[in-house]
Amino acid sequence: MFEVFVFATLNGLVTGLLLFMLASGLTLIFSMMGVLNFAHASFYMLGAYFAYTLSAYLGFWGGLLFAPLIVGCIGAAVERYGLRRVHQSGHVAELVFTFGLAFLIEEAVQFFWGRDTKNYQSPELFDFALFTLFGQEFSAYRGFMIAIACLIFGALYFVLTRSRVGIIIQASISHPQTVANLGHNVPLIFMCVFGVGTALAGVAGVIAGPVLTTFPGMATVLGSIVFVVVVIGGLGSLPGALIASLLVGLLQSYAIAADVGMPELLHLLGLSFDSSHPLNDLWTLNLPQIAPVLPYLLLVLVLIFKPTGLMGNREQ
């Protein structure tokens, strides 16, 4: 039981930190532009596909370096030539724009790369077990994923709170006019933030591609859960995004590992139902089965009891 717990924690950590890489960019973009970028997970997918193609020529590390750059440039271009124009028509138009963009990117990926799963592999450098615990291996690549995610959080947090750039960014979130009056190019800052946000999603794609497989549905699978994370953490809050990512990752991982459910609960209460009961499906439900819905349940609870999210302070 203890070994399952240890590994469930590690797995939850990996999933959570991966979610964080996506959520950090999304929450950053939201706090700047006040718009949820529905295409965010699509940039994650683009990152994986670009890295897959680049890795054939430049190896994994070339992909890790250049794929996020390309994705970031595409993101910046989307902001500069798409979102900025649409912005004049209000938030709804922006929302629809990113919604449409998500479909467009998915179709484009299927058009250029095909619908099959892509054989995108982790580098041979990491083809060893970082450590073996209770006879189970924890691959070095997963350790690498954790390291990258921590690095990103550290760097982002430092830049946003300790550096001059961060001060300007934070200022242009709350007082864009004042910042502009001080001589800063606010639209350029917005473009850069969007570019960096999408590049972060790209990084997540590059390093998740080999583990979670690279296929055209990968954006859809991760898309909705990232929004859940951002909302639970509080829209616009970076520490909130980290906490919520880990919370969602661990919650799912523990729920899968825990072999308990309604039968055990009923047994404790001294109740039993025969299998012909009309609600038989309900009485035999167990935790692993509902694990993927738990984050959504958490979302509902957070919204009821703390509508701004765990760390959010944004006024609605």
Per CB under 8 A, residues contacting other proteins are 3-4, 7-8, 11-12, 14-15, 18, 36, 38, 91-92, 95-96, 99-100, 103, 106-107, 110, 114-121, 129, 132, 134-137, 139, 141-142, 211-213, 215-218, 220-225, 227-228, 231, 252-253, 256-257, 259, 288-289, 291-292, 296, 299, 303, 307, 316
Closest listed residue to residue 71, CA positions, set 118, 30, 21:
21
| Residue with Cβ nearer other proteins (76 or 78) | 78
CA distances from 11 to 14, 15, 138, 143, 164 (A): 5, 6, 9, 11, 36
| Residue with Cβ nearer other proteins (132 or 174) | 132
The Cα–Cα gap between 13 and 154 comes to: 16
To other proteins, the closest distance from the beta carbon of 285 in angstroms equals: 11
To other proteins, the closest distance from the beta carbon of 116 in angstroms equals: 4
To other proteins, the closest distance from the beta carbon of 185 in angstroms equals: 28
The Cα–Cα gap between 247 and 237 comes to: 15
| Residue with Cβ nearer other proteins (116 or 264) | 116
To other proteins, the closest distance from the beta carbon of 213 in angstroms equals: 5
Half-sphere exposure of residue 215, counting CA atoms within 13 Å on the CB side? 9
The token pair at 134 is: 């209770």
| Residue with Cβ nearer other proteins (106 or 191) | 106
| Residue with Cβ nearer other proteins (88 or 270) | 88
| Residue with Cβ nearer other proteins (96 or 155) | 96
| CB-count burial class (<10 Å; 0-12, 13-18, 19+) for 166 | middle
- Residues in Cβ contact with 135 at an 8 Å cutoff, skipping those fewer than 6 apart: none
Q: Is the dihedral of CA 232, 244, 313, 171 positive or negative?
A: negative
To other proteins, the closest distance from the beta carbon of 284 in angstroms equals: 11
DSSP H/E element including 297: helix 294-305
- Name the residue type at position 53: T
To other proteins, the closest distance from the beta carbon of 92 in angstroms equals: 5
| Residue with Cβ nearer other proteins (27 or 253) | 253
To other proteins, the closest distance from the beta carbon of 1 in angstroms equals: 9
